[in-house]
Amino acid sequence: MKQKLALESWARKDQFDFFRQFEEPFFGVCVQIDCTKAYAAAKEQGASFFLYYLHKSLVAINAIAPFRYRITDNEVWEYDKVHASPTINRPDSTFGFAYMDFYEDFRQFETTAQQEIEKVQNSKGLIPAVSGENVIHYSSLPWINFTAISHARSFSFKDSCPKVSFGKMTTQNGQSMMPVSVHVHHALMDGYHVGQFVDYFQELMNS
């Protein structure tokens, strides 16, 4: 389900009108997330750490309204829920796109997400997600402890989906850290909202 935002009464209408005209309206930040407690919790539960932190990020994202905004025909729509469209690595070093429904309950999410991972890993090609706009574009680079990242973009394709990338977790002195990159459409949100996501995501990873 989705509903149209009343642009004329939206506090960010001027920012929306300004940034939606840009050839590159996305901005991005890279942060370090403490994974020490989350990694231990996932292993204790016998859960995939990838699915564990992916789910935590979806919980945080769905709690912050601007991450559920999308632009269609110069109108802003708010989805009641957004899902995951992650890249899934295969044994032959290729990857495919997946689609995973978001559920508040981790075990329910884990069950359906694991089925999707197996489907992608046992197939060929990109398998584009068919969900439309109500997704977050996720990617994982578990080989790289990056400090910055950019994305391939087709500027002729009007895209307003946020993009979140996870890097290599490293451990030093008992503390495990992972780089996380967040790219969002500036017509829909500002650094304040990205900061809300980062803070809540970290809170969930510590819980």
137, 151, 186, 193: which is the annotated catalytic residue? 186
Domain of residue 93, residue span: 2-206
What average pLDDT does range 182-206 have in this prediction? 98
Rounded to the nearest integer, the mean pLDDT of the chain is 95
CATH number at residue 174: 3.30.559.10
CA-nearest of 85, 72, 183 to 128 is: 85
Other C-beta atoms lying within 10 Å of the C-beta of residue 128 = 11
- Confirm whether 83 is a catalytic residue: no
- Predicted confidence at residue 158, as pLDDT, reads 85
pLDDT in tens, 73-130: 999 999 999 999 999 999 999 999 999 999 999 999 999 999 999 999 998 888 765 5
pTM of the entire predicted model:
0.95
Number of separate domains in the chain: 1
